[in-house]
Chain A
């Protein structure tokens, strides 16, 4: 029943197989061993499993593995390998989450950062309202979102070439 699946994962070509009903999140966390993508609910509400598919943020619990055939998937493990990030450095979004204390337990953080990265790739100078709108599909129970929004603002400034 399983079919061949070829796609790009964090810049590397991947050839694997997947059952028709396998969710992308289960493929990533299980056979591919990328456990940075988390699963926090079963109704596509929490956003902990957010990844990028061809640059768009998607909840990996709501995508079948076979749907990424031929596409480019970026997970949190690939954030620091995105174009423009110097070798050995963190992505500006990762740096900003640390600088702004934008995480406590860190469980929602990968999904938050992937959503934020998608936003900043599409809209490099978002307003606060646009940041809030972008993050509405991601839940956090620790931070009260205060420092998450601050982190996305800081990342936007850094990515636009400004000082922190």
Chain B
């Protein structure tokens, strides 16, 4: 669908083999746990088996008696040593005007435990088995306290308090929009729809668990703490370590990251465990390694989503949306981070009106403390929740008015002539032609042919439904600046150094393609260096930001390198720089055969390297958008849902690596389908024990799910606020798939005789949930208190 010129064979726009792959398929990846150091020790955590308790005493003598155990540390040890809690940003307030309320987020529990899985004791030993045996030999005497893991229960009068300073369990609250105007719009509306909506708690699940290898490097005469780890944000982790551990500064902490076995937002910030590893390495003077067991990641890595909402839409008689009103409770866990709170209270609201012109909004969002693991970033981080709400409401409104869902959406879409468009949250969309994307999505999905497919499914005894989601997302993390350093070396390589982080998304390949556009040298001459805070620092990779910020910087730095080379070549060739031409690794004097190679020029520079740094700043977030259409079949005998068709048209602006972006959208969509149909973190309602702590209980999509995606891109609407014209892609599929699939299931159920009642279903739409719905058993209303 692109009108762009055909791409160069390996440059941007071309599908190339990823430069990351040869090492990974040979088993030569370098994940954190793959690195062994001489004299390395192993650390195991004893984690709380209580959801809420006072620690009366800890007896570590049993652990110290285990052969191979070297040291044992408790929360009290860390407090005594001056290790500080992880601060929570003071961005938000409670409704009573008091500052955000949350217990101190410590590296190890001190005096109290507040969720099952909280680290209590760290045991260091000369083998992994000895460390685990040592942890099992620690005796902790607890005085058990009442706990609450359910967000709705946590808001009831008399509910146990997670943190005594907040007896109502309210961590923080935000209100956006104009409640009075919103009430007036609802009062005057021709049509009103309301839904209770649960965005259930999810586990991000990178297949590589969190891993850290901490050691002290005294090589340069200065004792430096180094953490080799699996992280999307090494610079942020370094800053947090320097903040938490006495005697540590940015100068004497280094974070190294090799291959990252998936991130999905789960590896974006500091974890308490990281601080413990750093502290222990400094205490013992020996390298210390920890790789989370899968159960530890389920228990204590961040969870995503965890929001309950009552959402309402008001429309006039023609189907123009007049107002959106949403009340949300977000269960943020016992020890929320700034991220836990900003996702529901600010990031989600930014996209709450999506691609639609909604004149008035009123949002009230409350972060609630609960006795479970903290929430944090998970692919989409606030946007999937908000888009799910508005897309469910759109379908409910279409049903209410007897309109086609696509038509109702079309009537409300922001039009290209309204760009730049400022939404009610003061977010500015630079570009987008949403109706054009919708039209292509309808065509790709054969929207008009659906009735025949529904009849054919019914003839086979299956209920068929169709769902649509048209949407956009905010990307960039509001960290819009990146530095890239280019070094041309005498031995024939071009090195690009960036603080953005590879985590499987193939960013290095995309950078190499962009550099190839400028340098014209073979791809294998270009290398990307990432994951070392001694070389580069920045925000890291999250929020679908890396290509449009870092890629823009690659482009600028590469061009600047050629410009600098032209000057140097002019000097070497005794010709004015203006007469120097550059092509495919060689500078020549125009009209002559006099020239010098790029790498030869580098050889003549100090240190044999031509080094140029450049910074690029995107002017604003990018706003990728799409139209995703899913069709499902339900077996009425079992309630089992199968996704049977999925078509998407995506506007991600200019595309650098076509194969990679298709993989991002489709792989991301399977994660979104996981939320719609199968995934759910479950805590026991009474004991707050985690019941979904393994792959046997947490239903990740498997290979037998849907794979026959039809995925298309429209490159005709480039982003106007960054040098590349690219819009982020990493989270798009995940955001679109969940509402498209749920809307399809609701459609099938509504047509099976349930009618509007079908709108009461809640995710995950497991066979059991759907089977019950078909028999009229639907989830009870949430009854959120205002």
Q: A75 interface residue, CB < 8 Å from B? A: yes
Q: Is the CB of B21 within 8 A of A34?
A: no
Residues of A within 8 A of B705 (CB): 144-145
Cβ-neighbour of B206 out of A79, A105, A149 (below 8 A): A105
Q: Does A1 contact B (CB under 8 A)?
A: no
Residues of chain A with a CB closer than 8 A to B28's CB: 36, 77
- Residue of B20, B207, B260 near A141 (CB, 8 A) is B207
With contacts A104-B663, A105-B262 taken as known, whether A36 is within 8 angstroms of B709 at the C-beta atoms is: no
Task: Report whether B208 and A45 are in contact in the complex, using a CB–CB cutoff of 8 Å.
Answer: no
- Residues of chain B lying within 8 A (CB to CB) of residue A142: 262, 504, 663, 667
Query: Do B261 and A90 touch across chains, with their CB atoms under 8 A apart?
Result: no
B29-37, B62-70, B99-107, B172-180: which one contacts chain A? B29-37
Residue contact B701 to A36, C-beta cutoff 8 Å: no
Most buried by A among B17, B25, B264, B696: B25
Contact code string A100-115 (vs B, CB < 8 Å = 1, else 0)? 0101111111100100
Q: Which of B25, B29, B669, B694 contacts A97 (CB 8 A)?
A: B25
Among the listed stretches A52-60, A65-73, A131-139, A156-164, which one makes contact with chain B, having 4 or more residues with CB under 8 Å of it? Answer: A131-139
**Which among A75, A105, A139 has the highest number of chain B CB atoms within 10 Å?**
A105
> In the docked arrangement, what's the CA distance between A36 and B709, Å?
31
Which one, B22, B259, B696, B704, contacts A98 given CB within 8 A? B22
**Smallest CB gap from B697: residue in A:** A43
User: Is A5 at the interface (CB under 8 A from chain B)?
Assistant: no
CA distance A135 to B491 in the complex (A): 44
Min Cβ gap B264→A in Å is 7
Please give, as numbers and ranges, the residues of chain B lying within 8 Å of A149 by CB-CB distance: 703, 707
CB distance from B521 to the nearest CB of A (A): 22
Q: Which residues of A contact B411 (CB under 8 A)?
A: none
A36 to B25, CA, bound (A): 9
Contact partner, B262, options A80, A107, A148, Cβ 8 Å: A107
Q: When the two chains form the complex, which single residue of B25, B262, B506, B707 contacts A144, counting CB atoms closer than 8 Å?
A: B707
Partner of B209, one of A34, A40, A106: A40
Residue of B whose beta carbon sits closest to that of A149: B707
Bound together, the chains give a CA A104 to CA B665 distance in angstroms of 12
* A48 located at the interface, meaning its Cβ lies under 8 Å from any Cβ of chain B in the complex: yes
Q: Are A140 and B504 neighbours in the complex by a CB distance under 8 Å? A: no
Shortest CB-to-CB span from A132 to chain B, Å, is 5
Whether A46 contacts B663 in the complex (CB less than 8 A), given A144-B669, A145-B670, comes out as no
B24 and A77: CB pair below 8 A?
no
Tell me, rounded to whole Å, the shortest Cβ–Cβ distance linking A71 to chain B: 20
Chain A residue numbers with a CB within 8 Å of B667 are 104, 142-144, 146
Q: A43-B696, A46-B207, A80-B26 are in contact. Are A104 and B295 (CB under 8 A)?
A: no
Nearest Cβ on chain B to A87's Cβ, whole angstroms: 14
Check B701 against A144 for contact (C-beta < 8 Å). Answer: yes
Q: Is B695 an interface residue (CB 8 A)?
A: yes
Interface size on B, residues (CB 8 A): 55
A141 with B206: in contact, given A101-B18, A104-B505 (CB under 8 Å)? yes
Query: Any chain A CB within 8 A of the CB of B479?
Result: no
- Check if B671 is an interface residue, CB within 8 A of chain A: yes
CA distance A86 to B22 in the complex (A): 16
Contact B666 A106 (CB under 8 A): no
A148: chain B residues within 8 A (beta carbon): 703
A94 close to B (CB within 8 Å): yes
Cα-based distance from A145 to B700 in the complex (angstroms):
12
The CA-CA distance from A141 to B704 in the complex, in Å, is 14
Most central of B208, B668, B703, B704 by chain A CB within 10 Å: B703
Q: Is the CB of B205 within 8 A of A141?
A: yes
Shortest distance from the beta carbon of A5 to any chain B beta carbon, whole Å: 18
Q: Closest Cβ of chain A: how far from B226's Cβ, in Å?
A: 20
The answer to whether B21 and A105 touch across the interface, beta carbons within 8 angstroms, is no
Across-interface contacts of B25 in A (CB, < 8 A): 76, 90, 94, 97-98, 103, 106, 109-110, 113
A106 touches B700 (CB 8 A): no
B293 within 8 A of A: yes
A82 to B115, CA, bound (A): 49
| Docked CA distance A95–B14 (Å) | 19
Chain A 107-134 interface mask (CB, 8 Å, partner B; 1/0): 1111001000000000000000000100
Closest to B24 in A: A106
Distance in angstroms from B665 CB to nearest chain A CB is 9
- Give the chain A neighbours of B34 by CB distance below 8 A: 29, 35
Given contact pairs A37-B27, A90-B25, A98-B22, A140 touches B207 in the complex (Cβ within 8 A): yes
A30 vs B34: C-alpha distance when bound (angstroms): 9
Least Cβ–Cβ distance between A59 and chain B, in angstroms: 12
What's the nearest-Cβ distance from chain B to residue A17, in Å?
Answer: 15
A137 to B124, CA, bound (A): 34
Contact B208 A40 (CB under 8 A): yes
CA distance A1 to B632 in the complex (A): 57
Is the pair A98, B17 in contact by a Cβ cutoff of 8 Å? yes
Q: Which residues of A contact B260 (CB under 8 A)?
A: 105
Between A and B, 25 residue pairs with Cβ closer than 8 Å are A29-B33, A30-B36, A38-B208, A39-B33, A40-B207, A40-B209, A41-B694, A43-B294, A43-B694, A43-B696, A80-B26, A90-B22, A98-B21, A103-B21, A104-B262, A105-B206, A106-B20, A106-B504, A107-B207, A110-B25, A113-B25, A132-B704, A136-B704, A141-B205, A143-B663
Closest 7 CB pairs of A and B: A36-B27, A105-B504, A107-B261, A144-B670, A106-B24, A45-B695, A76-B27
- Could you list which residues of chain B lie within 8 angstroms of chain A, going by C-beta atoms? 17-18, 20-22, 24-29, 31, 33-34, 36, 128, 205-209, 259-262, 264, 291, 293-295, 503-506, 659-660, 662-663, 666-671, 694-696, 700-705, 707, 709
Chain A residues in the interface with B (C-beta under 8 A): 26, 29-30, 33-43, 45-46, 48, 75-77, 79-80, 90, 94, 97-99, 101, 103-110, 113, 132, 135-136, 138-149
Query: 17 additional contacts, CB 8 Å, given A36-B27, A101-B18?
Result: A34-B27, A37-B27, A42-B293, A42-B694, A90-B26, A98-B17, A98-B18, A103-B21, A105-B208, A106-B20, A106-B25, A107-B207, A136-B704, A140-B703, A144-B707, A145-B707, A146-B663
